[in-house]
Amino acid sequence: MGKYPNDGRIRVQLVAVVANIAAPTVAELNAGTHITGFLSKDGLTTPADQNNVDVGTLAETFNAQVPGTFGGAVEMTGLKDDVADTLWNLITYDLGRYVVVRRGPPTATAYAAAQPVEVYPARFHEPVPDQTGGDEVSRFTISAPVYSQPNLKAIVAA
């Protein structure tokens, strides 16, 4: 696939059970809750902390480094809706879910075997209403600390 815009081509699913985060099944993913339509356009940030370890010595003038730890939280900006407040009511303090992110195919495309996905084991914090502003929809911030190493190169299994 060539280059593609993010708009309409990211799917975010909250999944209760994933037996193997390297190969979540179509059934496991379909049993989850599709939340993409409740997130703002800029409403998904996946863990991006990349730490380095200094390995230079006093004898060197170059500050040498090697890769260190990585991690962080999944951060989302939810949109409140005036009917059911679906995402607002779904997210509760200490809720454990797998946040599954698929990039590329159109959002509405069903999960299928061999699709690449990212799987983040996460526990949610209490959602917090965002500051109000004129000409804006009602938003809230969601933080989901990732509690074990995610699989950023998982492949959907049949």
Write out the two tokens for 118. 């990212």
Q: How high is the pLDDT of residue 1?
A: 57
Q: How high is the pLDDT of residue 113?
A: 98
Distances (CA, A) of 106 to 6, 57, 114, 121: 9, 50, 15, 24
Q: Which pLDDT band holds residue 109 (cuts at 50, 70, 90)?
A: very high
The model's pLDDT over 33-91, given as tens digits with 9 standing for 90+, comes to: 999 999 999 999 999 999 999 999 999 999 999 999 999 999 999 999 878 899 999 99
| Region 98-119 average pLDDT | 97
| Region 142-156 average pLDDT | 97
**How far is the C-alpha of 142 from the C-alpha of 78, rounded, in Å?**
7
Q: Which pLDDT band holds residue 97 (cuts at 50, 70, 90)?
A: very high
The model's pLDDT over 115-128, given as tens digits with 9 standing for 90+, comes to: 999 999 999 999 99
Instruction: State pTM to two decimals.
Output: 0.92
- The domain spans of the chain are 10-49+66-155
Name residue 151's beta-bridge partners.
Answer: 119
88 in the Ramachandran plot: left (φ > 0), alpha (ψ -120 to 50) or beta? alpha
